[in-house]
Amino acid sequence: MADQVTTDQQLLQKEKNVKNELDTIRTKRRIILGIMYGLISAVGYSIVPLMLYIIPEQGPYGNLAAPINATFYVTVQEIMATFVIFIFYKPKNFINFLKLLRHKETWLIVLYGFLGGPVAMVFFQLSVLLTINHQGGTDGTVPGLLLNLNVILAAIGSAIFFRARQSKYTWTALAISTCLILGMSIHFAIEEGLAWSSIGGMCLALVTAGFYAMEALGMSHLMSSSKIKFTNHETVSIKTSSSAILMLLLGTPIAAVFSHQSFLDGYKIFANFQYYDYALIVLAGGIIMGSSRMLYYACLSMSGPTYTTSTQLLMFFWTPIFQYIFIAVNVPNKISEPTWYYWVYVIPIVFCTFIISSNEFLVHASKVGWKRGFHELFGKIPKQNTK
C-alpha cells in the first residue's frame, strides 16, 4: 500500500514537472514569435523615412528637409496609422478600446505615447538643429545614431524597475552594440567635422533615446503588470490615435515656429495634399507605419522591452539596403551611399542583434542540448499526457 502511494506521488510529481516544462516551452515560443514580429517591424520602420526621397526635390511643396515638412510627414503617418489600426482591429473594437480612457491608468498610455512620439520628435529636431558640421550646416547623422542607445537604456531600466534577468549572451551583445554605436557616432562626428558646440545637440539626442526607452518600459508594464493589463491591441490603438490628435493640433504649428514662421502657418502645409504624387507617397508611408507599429507592439506585449528595442537595431541593416535600392531605381533625390566604415560598425551590430534575438534558444539549448532545444522551440509541442 505504501509503495502504491509512493508510486502515485512520483507519477503526480512527474506529471507536474512535464506540465511546467511545457509551460516554459510555450512561454519561450511566445517570446520568440514576438521577436520575429519586432524584426519584421524594423523593415517597415526603415523604409518609411526614406520614402521622402521618392518625391521630387524641385516641387511646389518646399524643402522636404525643412522641419515643417518633416513634421507634416510624421503627422500624416500618425493619422494614417490610426486609420489602418481602426480598420484592422475593426471599428467597433477600436471604439471600445477608446472607452478605456475613463480609467486613470489609460492616460498613462497617452502620456508615454506623447513622450515617445511628439515630444521625442521635437527634441530630435532640436538636436539636429544644434548639431553643426564644418560647413556651418546642420547634420542629423550623429543624433540619429545616438537614438539607438535606447536599447541599452531599456535593458538597464528593465533590470532596475522590473528586476528582469538577462542572460550573459544578451548583456554581452548589448555591451558590444553600445560600444559600436558610440564608436560609430564619434567616427561620424570626426568625419563631418562637428563643432564642439554640437555637444548640446548630442545630449538632446540622448534625452530623446531616454524618451523612447521610457515609452517601451512604460507600455510593457501597463500590458503585463498593471491593474487593467491592457492588450497590445488596446495599447497601440490608444497610443496612435492620441498621438495623431496631438500631432494634428500641435505638430506642424510648433515646427513652423522652429522655422521662424507663425504658429498658424503650420496648418497651411496641409495644402500640399493638392499635389497627388506627394500625397500618395505620404499616405503610403502612413500605412506602412501603422502596420509596423502593430507588429512592434505585439512584440512589446509578447517579448518585453529589451527584446523589442533590440530588434530595431536591424534598422542599421535595412536602411542602407533600401538606400541602395532607391539609388538603383534612380529616385528623384540624390542619396549618398553608406561609407565603407559604416559597414565595419554595422556588421557586428547585426550579429549582436542576431545573438539577442536568439537568446531564448541559446539559453534553453545550453540546458537541454542543441537538437532537443531546437525541436522543442521550433517544432511541434507534444501534448501533455493527462492519464
**3-state secondary structure string across 299-344:** HHHHHCHHHHHHHHHHHHHHHHHHHHHHHHCCCCCCCCCCCHHHHH
Q: Residue 381: pLDDT band by 50, 70, 90 thresholds?
A: low
The count of residues in the chain is 387
- Res 370: pLDDT: 84
* CA distance linking residue 297 with residue 216, whole number of Å: 9
- Please list the residues that pair with 132 across neighbouring strands: 138
- Res 36: pLDDT: 96
Residue 66, φ and ψ in degrees, nearest 5:
-65, 145
Residues 6+ apart with CB under 8 A from 332: 53, 54, 55, 56, 57
* CA distance linking residue 352 with residue 370, whole number of Å: 20
Q: Residue 1: pLDDT band by 50, 70, 90 thresholds?
A: low
Q: Hey, CA dihedral for 115, 118, 123, 128, is it positive or negative?
A: positive
- Res 54: pLDDT: 83
Residues 6+ apart with CB under 8 A from 272: 61, 72, 278, 279
Asked if residue 319 has pLDDT above 60, the reply is yes
**Side chain identity at residue 199, one-letter code:** I
Q: Nearest Cα to 138, choosing from 45, 205, 75?
A: 205
Asked if residue 81 has pLDDT above 60, the reply is yes
Q: Hey, CA dihedral for 288, 119, 153, 345, is it positive or negative?
A: positive
Place of cell 480612457: 101
Arithmetic mean of pLDDT over the chain = 85
Asked if residue 342 has pLDDT above 50, the reply is yes
Residue 104 three-state SS? coil
Asked if residue 349 has pLDDT above 90, the reply is yes
Contact assessment for residue 200 and residue 125, using Cβ atoms and an 8 Å cutoff:
no
- Res 387: pLDDT: 47
More confident residue, 185 or 386: 185
101, three cell numbers = 480612457
Q: What is the pLDDT of residues 22-60, one digit of tens each?
A: 888 888 999 999 999 999 999 999 898 888 778 876 667
Q: What is the pLDDT of residues 193-242, one digit of tens each?
A: 887 778 888 899 999 999 999 999 999 999 988 888 899 999 999 999 99
Asked if residue 277 has pLDDT above 80, the reply is no
- Res 153: pLDDT: 93
Mean pLDDT value of segment 132-140? 67
Mean pLDDT value of segment 262-266? 88
* CA distance linking residue 95 with residue 81, whole number of Å: 15
Contact assessment for residue 360 and residue 377, using Cβ atoms and an 8 Å cutoff:
yes
**Side chain identity at residue 335, one-letter code:** I
- Res 136: pLDDT: 67
CA dihedral of 147, 205, 111, 217, whole degrees rounded to 10? 40
